Structure 1
Amino acid sequence: MQCHGHVSDPELVTAVSSCPCSAETTRATHAWRLAQLRVVKHATEHPLPKAAEYVLRALADGDSFEDPTDELCGLRARRYVDGDGEAWRITLLGRRYLLALDEPRYTSAVYVNTVDVPTRTAQVVVLGWHMEREVTVLADQLAAAAELELGELPGCYLEAKVNVGAADPDDLVLTRIQVPAPITEDYVAVRPVWLRDGGAR
């Protein structure tokens, strides 16, 4: 999805590789969204060992630390830290990892409004975050989870784990996306009774 992946002339690949769209640090680009997704999934599904987390938190807080197991090398490979020797620094991805460890994530319904096929992005409404505001997400992420073509996504309801406490829509990261279980006739039949009696129990 990075710019150099759309260049057919090998001589131009090097030049296009420096495009900001190909940088994980350029907010709201495909590369940035993919990096956010990778980091959040890492934190929530396969987190770092405690020793590595300790080093990362120490860097984030500006505390001194010891690293007898050389966790910094692994953290640098993941681009969570940069530098060397006495000048190690936590990166934005490293801070995003720590935030993902700490922020609550909830299951929310997600409604797909539109899909822009040329840019491979989708405008969705994350109902657990806001009932009307649209959120831009990667359409391929939705299509793969729903096992649908991009053109079949508009009008679909999905479920996802979402950090609904985020203030900026670009900071919402959807994981564990799936097609919700169908509502059965029995559920539709009994739901009005529950509401009449003061809510579902």
Structure 2
Amino acid sequence: MDESFGPEYVRPAQKDCPRCACCTVDLCDRGRDSIMQCAGLTPAEHKGTVRGCPCSAVTTPRTAAWRAAQVRVTLLARELPVSEQAEDVLRALADSREVDTDDGGLLPQLTARGLAELQGLRPVITELGRTYLAARGDVRSRAVVEVVDVDRRARTARVTVAAWRPDEPVTVLLDQITSDTGLDADMLPGRLLEAEANTEAPTADRLVLTGLRAGGDGRTGARQ
């Protein structure tokens, strides 16, 4: 006799993401806000399908992975730059000049850091490479930063930078702030911080904050 244990549960199908051909809407919504990207939030058997999803990629502006990469490359440029010879190669690529691919390992030094890549057999600079070169030339100085608000779901915070554009909030990864300052997310709204910033940046996407730290008692009167 067959035993019946009730109706079989079938998980409802999830909607495909309209912005890519590899993920569901839910996965891309989560991947966009995670430095792990879509592939890092996917079971092992499906990672190959979603790896490189543009909705969460390092190369897609304003994803969590992109924001983290801007900080990483800026710190690389300021604190642990590539060799002068490798930087000369990178500048040549930025100027669309031909470079010697048999260069004694300089190109691998750049590609390993995501500053250059091969398109076919031709080396080209990446957007991260351009960020690196900009960071090498930027004037960076300490600046007062005020946390306007925090989005726990997206793991971001909106901040204003007085020395840049005090009335234009910019988005920063929440985990960067809490990691740098040691402050809990609940303590951040209305908090005054200090950071190193390229205050001559032309746009919010080019403004990169590093070395965040709490300053004084850190509170503003308006948002206490």
Greater helix content: 1
Change (3 A) 1:127 1:34: same
| 1:148 to 2:188 alignment | no
Question: Would the alpha carbon gap of residues 182 and 148 (structure 1) be closer, same or farther in structure 2, given more than 3 Å must change?
Answer: closer
Aligned to 1:190: none
Residue 189 of structure 1 corresponds to: none
C-alpha deviations, 1:105-131, integer Å up to 9, x for none? 121000001000011000101111112
Q: Provide the identity percentage.
A: 42
Preserved contact between residue 21 and residue 31 of structure 1 (Cα < 8 Å): no
CA RMSD of aligned residues (A): 2.1
SS in 2 for 1:36: helix
1:25 is matched with: 59
> 1:85-105: CA deviations, max 9, x gaps?
861111111111111101111
CA distance in 2, matches of 1:40, 1:149: 25
> Hey, what does 2:92 align to over in structure 1?
58
Q: How far does residue 181 in structure 1 lie from its aligned partner after superposition?
A: 4.5
Give the superposition deviation at 1:46. Answer: 1.0
Say how many residue pairs are matched: 182
SS of aligned partner of 2:70: helix
Could you tell me the TM-score, scaled by structure 1's length? 0.82
Aligned match of 2:29: none
Residue deviations 1:161-195 (CA, integer Å, cap 9, x gap) = 11111122122110111122569xxxxxxxxxxxx
Give the TM-score taking structure 2 as reference length: 0.74
Q: Distance in 1 between matches of 2:44 and 2:85?
A: 43
Instruction: Give yes or no for the alignment of 1:38 onto 2:72.
Output: yes
Structure 2: gaps spanning 5 or more residues:
1-33, 219-224
Give the match's secondary structure for 2:166.
coil
CA–CA separation in structure 1 for the residues paired with 2:99 and 2:50: 40
Rate the CA distance shift 1:13–1:84 in 2: closer, same or farther, 3 A.
closer
Decide which structure has the larger Cα Rg and report it.
2
**Aligned partner of residue 215 in structure 2, secondary structure:** coil
Measured in 2, the distance between the counterparts of 1:113 and 1:96 equals 26
